[in-house]
């Protein structure tokens, strides 16, 4: 079956190329002159930093800017300023809130730490979220419409295709923990 072997070879070649293709994608930042928003005739082209030049140096990701921004921060690859006014108080919070329990998707665990590394409390509280665990009615539809978490996720923070980065907590495990609590 010579023809079939040829096809099989092609399939194998593609399978081998797929993992290569994915990182190639992560390295494929458009040059500013070809990104569809910058005017190629603008004098800024050649002066402004190219995304590929900066972003290729940071921990790679598979979506968004193709950069793991939190990891870049934690590893010290970047050290963005936390404030610009001397009087600004830097506020960090470390707790994790588990929300959206026992639905059809794994529960969401929201880590305050990663969020407060970038953001101030006032960016989320009391709008769009009140400062009380369990008091916020979250809606995936609203998020997809650019409200709630969707103010950032899907715009600047990792996009909404990455379901399991937020929906990462097993409901069964939560259920077991709850039953364990009840027994005690």
Partner 1 sequence: MRSAEALVAAALVAATVLLAAGPAQAEYGDVVLNRRSEANGVRPVVFPHWFHRIRFRCKVCHSELGFTMRAGANDVKMDDITQGRFCGMCHNGTVAWGPDRCDLCHSGLPGLKSGIVGGHGTSGPGKW
Q: Closest distance between partner 1 and the C-beta of residue 180, in Å?
A: 38
What x-and-dash track marks residues 125-154 binding partner 1 by CB under 8 A?
------------------xxxxx--xxx-x
Q: Which is nearer to partner 1, 29 or 98 (CB)?
A: 29
Q: How far apart are CA 95 and CA 18, in angstroms?
A: 39
**CA 17 to centroid of chain Cα atoms:** 26
Q: Closest distance between partner 1 and the C-beta of residue 109, in Å?
A: 21
User: Which residue carries 């996009």 as its tokens?
Assistant: 159
Is the distance from CB of 38 to CB of 46 less than 8 angstroms? no
- Taking CB under 8 A as the binding criterion, the range among 73-81, 99-107, 131-139, 173-181 that sits at the site for partner 1 is 73-81
- Taking CB under 8 A as the binding criterion, the range among 42-50, 93-101, 105-113, 132-140 that sits at the site for partner 1 is 42-50
Determine which residue in the list 42, 131, 168, 170 makes contact with partner 1, applying CB under 8 A: 42
Determine the 3-state secondary structure of 99 from DSSP: strand
Within 10 A of 168 (CB to CB), how many other CB atoms are there? Answer: 13
Is the distance from CB of 84 to CB of 157 less than 8 angstroms? no
């Amino acid at each position: 079956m010579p023809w079939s072997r040829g096809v099989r070879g092609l399939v194998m070649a593609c399978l081998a190329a797929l993992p290569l293709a994915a990182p190639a994608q992560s390295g494929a930042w458009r040059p500013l002159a070809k990104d569809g928003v910058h005017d190629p005739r603008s004098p800024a082209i050649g002066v402004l930093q190219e995304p590929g030049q900066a972003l290729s140096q940071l921990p790679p990701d598979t979506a968004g800017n193709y950069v793991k921004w939190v990891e870049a921060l934690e590893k010290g690859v970047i050290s963005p300023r936390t404030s610009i006014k001397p009087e600004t108080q830097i506020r960090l919070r470390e707790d994790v809130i588990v929300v959206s329990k026992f639905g059809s998707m794994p529960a969401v665990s929201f880590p305050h730490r990663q969020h407060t590394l970038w953001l101030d409390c006032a960016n989320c509280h009391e709008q769009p979220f009140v400062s009380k665990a369990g008091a916020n009615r979250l809606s995936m539809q609203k998020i997809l419409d650019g409200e709630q978490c969707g103010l950032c996720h899907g715009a600047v923070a990792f996009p909404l295709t990455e379901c399991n980065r937020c929906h990462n907590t097993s409901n069964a495990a939560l259920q077991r923990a709850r039953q364990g609590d009840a027994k005690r």
